[in-house]
A = this chain, B = another copy of it.
Amino acid sequence: MRIGILGTGVVGKTLGTKLAKLGHHVHMGSRAAGGATAKAWAREAGGKSLEGTFADAAAHGEMVFNCTSGMASLEALKAAGANNLQGKILVDVANPLDFSKGMPPTLSVCNTDSLGEQIQRAFPTAKVVKSLNTVTVGVMVEPSLIPGVHTMFVSGNDHQAKAAVIDLLKTGFGWKEVIDLGDITGARAQEMYLPLWLRLFTKFKSPNVNIHVAF
């Protein structure tokens, strides 16, 4: 599959590398093409891996991952271009964490709205699927870093898009349990879980912590 990755931080690089290893054709995008980080990543990821602008990456992808920081995501997606996202599966991995008021971070949007919903409203022809935002980046692509069965969530308005993401999560990344929380308003639940995750991260002094849904 042709994959676009928006954001050259550790999340973008880790997802990009894993997807390239799985045989996907990955194009990483950032604010400007030719940055040192993105060029080094493309060399190391090998295969047909490319780097360029947000727009280049979005135009390339059949599935596009938003791996930009949550506070900058809407701007980055605007730079990627609505036309380049039209009809595409847009996996929103970001969390709207606001670090400007110190630690712990707060959410810049929550309760009556979410970043996932904001993105879906701003890009109505994209098929936004919120996922992967509830675990640390290493666990996203290697769930076995945490023992036992634990849960990944998805939410989104398009059933086929969610099915494609769930398939990638399960067969590509090795997730054993993926729970579909329904339409994109489920992103509120996924993003508002972050304060609990941050608390558990602090307590256990390890980011390798997740939850298993028991019922």
- Which residues of A pack against B, CB within 8 Å? 106-107, 110-112, 146-151, 179-182, 186, 188-190, 192-193, 195-196, 198-200, 202-204, 206, 208-215
Contacts and interface: CB of A to CB of B under 8 A. Distances in A.
Contact of A195 (B189, B199, B203, B213): B189
20 contacts: A107-B111, A110-B110, A110-B192, A111-B111, A146-B214, A148-B214, A181-B200, A181-B203, A182-B199, A182-B202, A189-B198, A190-B196, A192-B196, A193-B196, A200-B213, A204-B215, A209-B213, A210-B215, A211-B214, A212-B214
A35 to B, nearest CB: 34
A153 to B, nearest CB: 8
Nearest to A112: B106
Given A106-B111, A182-B202, A182-B203, 14 more contacts: A110-B110, A111-B111, A146-B215, A148-B214, A179-B203, A180-B203, A189-B195, A189-B199, A190-B196, A200-B213, A206-B215, A210-B215, A212-B212, A212-B214
Contacts of A215: 146, 200, 204, 206, 208-210
Q: Is the interface of A mostly helix, strand, loop or mixed?
A: mixed
A195 B200 contact: no
Nearest to A211: B211
B210 A214 contact: yes
Contacts of A202: 182
Nearest to A114: B195
A36 to B, nearest CB: 35
Contacts of A204: 215
B181 A199 contact: yes
Nearest to A208: B215
Nearest to A193: B196
A162 B68 CA distance: 39
Contacts of A110: 110-111, 192
A169 to B, nearest CB: 17
A211 B212 contact: yes
Most-contacted residue by chain B among A148, A150, A192, A202 (CB, 10 A): A192
